[in-house]
Amino acid sequence: MNFTKSERLQKLPPYLFVELDRKKAEAVSRGVDVIDLGIGDPDMPTPRFIVDRMVQAVQNPAYHRYPSSQGMASFRAAAADWCAQRFGVSLDSETEVVASIGSKEAIANLPLAFIEPGDVVLVPTPGYPVYHIGTLFCGGETFYMPLLAENGFLPDLDSIPGDILRRARIMWLNYPNNPTAATAPDWFFPKVVQFAREHDIIICHDAAYSEMTYDGYKAPSFLETPGAMDVGIEFHSLSKTYNMTGWRIGFTVGNSEVIAALRQAKSNVDSGQFEAVQDAAIAALSSDQSCVEDMRRIYAERRDVLVKGLREIGLDAPSPAATFYVWCPVPKGYTSAEFCARVLEEAGIVTTPGNGFGDPGEGYFRMALTVSAQRMQEAVERLRKIL
């Protein structure tokens, strides 16, 4: 039989993190003691009080049946309360909040609600690959907005051509940013709201890293901006904030019409998240957030070890105010892929080539702060030997 894959699958680029896993596995099979600074997956366990809540919840027979695709009312209320306390954003948990199976699922499903073949989605690059993949699956067209160092890794909205804007339906933004670790200055979100109104574009802000901040910086919500609720939505995830990547739980908040459309799309393709997981997530969101402070302190210590070491080696490493990534220019004479390949082959360190996130990422590599400070120091010493 001829099992020909669909055109949409054939158009997909290799998923970056699958390729990283493959290369890491090859190195491990050769007996290399690999230090993995590639994929952004927290190495710390989920806080014990969340796990304990899950142990209790999973024994509740009421949670053993099909969940609602929009999420438990109590979970949506906890998400709304968290947004009110953290950002001062008031939300109606019935109409302006929907649960998601991690933010990745909601990000992939959102275009299903709005994009027709020929519609344009504005996507930052370098950026999270799923923004483009969700567009591709709907038959939409991606227009890439380059994130360049000279612009503070912000998209130049004024440079987007008029013919593109006339067909654009959605704009994706992500601050604090993956992979660049850039943050949004005070003037940026108000400009985005005005831009969205002028061109009738839905703003989709991925805020997965909003709680991973250091040195007194507090990341704003896009929805704090006056008028933002009229033009867009925001995606939140418990994955990084509470070390719950494997639990697959998040929520999307914002404009009620957009949320209703996302909820409708989701209801036709998923059956919601296990309610015991939602119950445990309520414990996380409703806690005193001291576990988040502990997380920030640990990542800040690791960041300082890595950045100091990279600078001593001669690399121009910035010290990020947010996320758990260091986005660093490669040494002269290397492409991103060449440098990351050498670091893996000669030092046993997995890093992510910047061009894997999009063409403007060429000339950079990304390192995740997902190993202990001691292990991070060892990575620095290995790099020192080969550089």
Q: 3-state SS of 10-65?
A: HCCCCCHHHHHHHHHHHHHHCCCCCEECCCCCCCCCCCHHHHHHHHHHCCCHHHHC
Q: Would you call 256 helix, strand, or coil by DSSP? A: helix
> Greatest CA separation found in the chain?
61
Alpha-carbon span 365 to 349, nearest angstrom: 12
Strand order in the sheet with 352-353: 325-329, 364-368, 352-353
Alpha-carbon span 257 to 263, nearest angstrom: 10
Alpha-carbon span 112 to 270, nearest angstrom: 13
* Amino acid in position 127: G
Alpha-carbon span 262 to 256, nearest angstrom: 10
- CB 150 within 8 Å of CB 182: no
User: Strand 352-353 and strand 349-350: pairing?
Assistant: unpaired
pLDDT at site 230: 98
User: Strand 97-100 and strand 120-125: pairing?
Assistant: unpaired
pTM above 0.85, yes or no: yes
Residue whose C-alpha is closest to residue 169's, from 125, 221, 130, 112: 112
* Amino acid in position 223: L
Q: Is the dihedral of CA 311, 314, 320, 325 positive or negative?
A: negative
Domain 7-45+290-386: which topology? Aspartate Aminotransferase, domain 1 (3.90.1150)
What is the pLDDT tens value at each position of the chain, 387 positions in all? 889 999 888 888 776 667 767 877 887 888 889 999 998 999 999 999 999 999 999 999 999 999 999 999 999 999 999 999 999 999 999 999 999 999 999 999 999 999 999 999 999 999 999 999 999 999 999 999 999 999 999 999 999 999 999 999 999 999 999 999 999 999 999 999 999 999 999 999 999 999 999 999 999 999 999 999 999 999 999 999 999 999 999 999 999 999 999 999 999 999 999 999 999 999 999 999 999 999 999 999 999 999 999 999 999 999 999 999 999 999 999 999 999 999 999 999 999 999 999 999 999 999 999 999 999 999 999 999 998
Please report how the helices 290-313 and 373-386 are oriented relative to each other, as an axis angle in degrees rounded to 10.
Answer: 20
* Phi and psi angles of residue 115, each rounded to the nearest 5 degrees, phi first: -95, 125
Please report, for the chain, the start and end positions of each structural domain, with discontinuous segments joined by +: 7-45+290-386, 48-285
Element (H, E) at 182: none
Instruction: Annotate 205-236 with DSSP letters as a single string.
Output: EE-TTTT-B-TT--PPPGGGSTTHHHHEEEEE
Q: Is 48-285 a domain of CATH 1.10.287.610?
A: no
Show the beta-strand stretches assigned E in 81-201.
97-100, 120-125, 141-146, 168-173
Alpha-carbon span 264 to 215, nearest angstrom: 41
Alpha-carbon span 354 to 180, nearest angstrom: 9
